[in-house]
Amino acid sequence: MFEHEWKCYWGNVDPARIAYYPRLVNAMHEAGEEYLDQLGVSFWDVPDQYGIDLPVVAMDMEFRKPVEVGDELTVSVEPDMGTKSLGFDFTATHADGSTAFVGHEQHVAVDEDKSSTPLPDEFREILENDF
C-alpha cells in the first residue's frame, strides 16, 4: 500500500471552510499519480514510453467526515490491475485515524485510435513487482 500526504489549504475550501469536493477528487488523483511516480512511471510519459493512454472511465467517492481548512490527510492507494485497465482504491484518513473519504478511480488502456487495448507487458511487470 502506498500513502500520500495531502493538506487542505484555504484555496481548497468553500465558504463553510469545508473542502470543496473537486479538491478532494484532485487529492485522490494526485495520490494515484504519486503512486505510479514512485514506481518510475509518470502519467504524462505513459503515451511515449508504452504507446497507450490511461484515461479515467469511472470514479466514485463516499465522504465520511468533513475535511476542513488546515486538515492533513493520509491518502492510501491500493492498485487493482486488469487485462486492459488499472484501478486505484483510495482511503483518506485524518491525523486522528478517522476516515475522511473512500474512493475509486478506474483507468482503461487505449491505443492511438482510442480503442481499448491490453496493458503493455513492460508496464504490467512494473506494477506486478509492486503487488
- Average pLDDT over all residues of the chain: 95
Give the C-alpha separation, 95 to 119, whole Å: 36
- Cβ–Cβ < 8 Å for 81, 113: no
What is the band of 130 on the pLDDT scale with cuts at 50, 70, 90? Answer: confident
Averaged pLDDT, 61-82: 96
**Model pTM?**
0.92
Give the C-alpha separation, 104 to 33, whole Å: 14
Residue-range definition of the domain harbouring residue 47: 2-128
Rounded to 5°, angle at Cα 122 from 126 and 46? 85
Give the C-alpha separation, 115 to 124, whole Å: 19
Tell me how many domains the chain contains: 1
Give the C-alpha separation, 125 to 18, whole Å: 40
**pLDDT value of position 1:** 86
- Integer distance in angstroms from the first to the last C-alpha of the chain? 9
Here the CATH number for the domain that contains residue 92 is: 3.10.129.10
Indicate whether 131 pLDDT > 70. no
pLDDT digits (tens, 9 = 90+) for 10-65: 999 999 999 999 999 999 999 999 999 999 999 889 999 999 999 999 999 999 99
Higher pLDDT, 131 or 111: 111
